[in-house]
Structure 1
Amino acid sequence: MGQRVPVVVQTRGRRSAGARVLWVSAEAFVTCGVLVLLLVVHQLWWTNQQARAEARDQVRVLEREWDVSPPVDPGDSVDPVDPVDPVDPVEAVEPEPVVESGSPRATVPPAPAPSAAFAVLRIPRLGLTVPVAEGISKRSVLDKGYVGHYPGTGAPGRVGNFALAGHRNTHGEPFRYVNRLGPGDRIFVRTRARTFVYRVDLVLPATSPRDVGVIRAVPRSLVKPSYGYDAPGAYLTLTTCTPEFTSTYRLVVWAKLVSAR
């Protein structure tokens, strides 16, 4: 009988091919993870740095144009509930007519140019100082770290509703902590002519993004009618997304004008 020759099956090549597939998959996984991490860093850190720097520069530009120093708040060291130089907003500032549907068209002051910064918002409770620009465009207003003025809503210090929007997260996130505001906290709006002081009055923790009632001249939620007002006044409205890192609902803070100087 002939001698049998043992047969050796070579599997090294197959194992090497499998190892290469696993290695490539692992590299791809790590690369994707790094890219996602960089994206998160860009969104949560870098956009904030850029937007805050631009917002600070714009505040300085406005103050130079107005030739004034940043306003000193004499109430920072006293009870913030007490207004400074309280005045009747209707008498102190020429009222802005409220144009209702079907009524004769009233003469109103010209609106600022779209995306142009025209005021400075200051909230001592949050350590916030930020420019206010016309419009709520993400690209030209909100993503620059500014607070945006809803077109068609009232002007600072006038009868009506001076309604503003700002990012809660990323791009400067000026309204990151507006949920910390409560009744009595003061909000300052500086324009070329005057500084208007508002006092926080009501907070609506969450409502629909389509709840347009919150920015009307006499603000009242259409979704939660127990929140809002029944009579004309000089109102300030702050709106932002909630919960954080989502846009499911809107958080609303309302304030009333208490002084102008």
Structure 2
Amino acid sequence: MVVQGARRSGLARAAWCGGEIAVTVGLVLLLLVVHQLWWTNRQARDAAEEKVEALERQWRNQDGPAGPSGPSGPSEPAGPAVGPTPTEPGNAPADDRPAARESRGPAPPRWDQAYAVLSIPKLGVRVPVAEGVGKAGVLDKGYVGHYPRTAQPGRPGNFAVAGHRNTHGEPFRYVNRLRPGDRIEVRTAQASYTYEVDRTLPQTLPGDGGVIDPVPRSAVKAGAGYEERGYYITLTTCTPEFSSEYRLVVWGKLQSARAR
């Protein structure tokens, strides 16, 4: 009886210890989830909003031509390589066609440098745009990243950007709600550009580099994209939510440009 009682007591202690460990592990996992889904969002959103305000102050205070200048920094992993930007649009807005005959504009921004502000009024989004699509230097800061070697805002070709759909500010959380005619605004030190959403590709493979080509056209989904040169904007993000298995793509066309 004494042996059996001691055995039961040992089993009870082991079960109690096991339960305590399970509860502790559960709390740690819960804290990690809270940190990833709430705290990183709060930090990134606050930092992104501060950067937007800093850019706007800089633009108000500058006297001469501004915007990023100087040579690019060290290389970083970029998105799928794309070809050269076309210099003559095929379907550009009539009041913006002269832009195709202008010089190529300011020098490219340095890696990870925020140099523009992207706004989506329908979604309440207002975030900085930085050069490159690296996670640590751009996307995880709550910024939208510009794919290197795609067009700059307002230029002929395809201004293509990426952003997180979940965590780290998740600026593109609800881009699946965008519909044709919804506005996307991009402001730089030189001008403000208004694009209108035109088409959406709900799902494609991560390696579908055709969606950010100068004339964007999916290399995976037949018939998705365009045939003519123009002034495009492309938003890319992960799909489905909380997964990076596929990519969601939103395309738009430039409707107007206004000097600051």
Distance 1:110 1:225, change over 3 A: farther
Structure 1 residues 255 and 65: CA distance shift in structure 2, 3 A: same
Flag the 1:94–1:172 CA change in 2: closer, same or farther, 3 A. farther
Q: Does 1:216 align with 2:209?
A: no
Question: Which whole-Å CA distance do the structure 2 matches of 1:110 and 1:22 have between them?
Answer: 66
In structure 2, what is the equivalent of residue 76 of structure 1?
none
Structural mapping, 1:209-248, within 5 Å = 209-248=206-245
Q: Does 1:22 align with 2:15?
A: yes
Segment drifting more, 249-258 vs 14-23 = 14-23
Residue pair 2:146, 2:160 contacting (<8 A) in 1 also? yes
Give the letter aligned to residue 41 of structure 1: V
Contact kept, 8 Å, 1:188 with 1:195, in 2: the verdict is yes
Q: Is 1:131 equivalent to 2:128 in the alignment?
A: yes
Higher Rg: 1
- Give me the TM-score of the superposition, normalised by structure 1: 0.84
Q: Which residue of 2 aligns with 1:56?
A: 49
Partner residue in 2 for 1:13? 6
Q: Is contact 2:179-2:197 (8 Å) kept?
A: yes
- Number of corresponding residues: 227
Superposed, which structure 2 residues align to 1:48-127 within 5 Å? 48-67=41-60, 87-92=94-99, 94=101, 109-127=106-124
1:108: how far off? 7.3
Which of 245, 250, 256 aligns to 2:247? It is 250
**Mind listing any 5+ residue stretches in structure 2 that lack a counterpart?**
62-92
Following superposition, the deviation at residue 88 of structure 1 comes to 3.2
Residue 104 of structure 1 corresponds to none
Do the aligned residues in 2 keep the contact of 1:211 with 1:221 (CA within 8 Å)? Answer: yes
Decide which of 176, 179, 183 is 2:176's aligned counterpart.
Answer: 179
The letter for the 2-side match of 1:132 is V
Q: Show the counterpart of 1:143.
A: 140
Gaps in structure 1 of 5+ consecutive residues: 1-7, 69-85, 97-106
Q: Residue 36 of structure 1 is aligned with which of 6, 25, 29?
A: 29
What residue in structure 2 maps to residue 165 of structure 1? 162
Identity percentage over the alignment?
A: 61
Distance apart, 1:109 and its partner CA? 4.9
Give 3-state SS (helix, strand or coil) of 2:16's partner.
Answer: helix
One-letter identity of the residue aligned with 2:58: E
TM-score by length of 2: 0.84
Stretch of structure 1 that moved more, 153-162 or 14-23: 14-23
Deviation (angstroms), 1:14: 1.2
- Shift of the alpha carbon at 1:169? 0.2
The whole-number CA distance in structure 1 between the counterparts of 2:105 and 2:126 is 28
Contact 1:169 1:245 in 2 (8 A): yes
Conservation of the 8 A alpha-carbon contact between 1:135 and 1:141: yes
2: CA distance, partners of 1:94 / 1:145: 35
SS state at 1:253 partner: strand
Using the TM superposition, give the Cα deviation of residue 87 of structure 1 relative to its aligned residue in structure 2, in angstroms.
4.7
Alpha carbons 1:89, 1:159 under 8 Å: kept: no
Shift of 1:9: 4.5
One-letter amino acid of the structure 2 residue matched with residue 241 of structure 1:
C
Aligned match of 1:153: 150
2:19 partner SS: helix
Q: Which residue number in structure 1 is paired with residue 79 of structure 2?
A: none
Give RMSD over aligned pairs: 1.6
SS at match of 2:137: coil
2:43 paired with 1:46: no
Equivalent position to 1:193, from 190, 193, 209: 190
Residue 95 of structure 1, CA deviation: 5.7
CA contact (8 A) 1:87 1:260 kept: no
Show the counterpart of 1:71. Answer: none
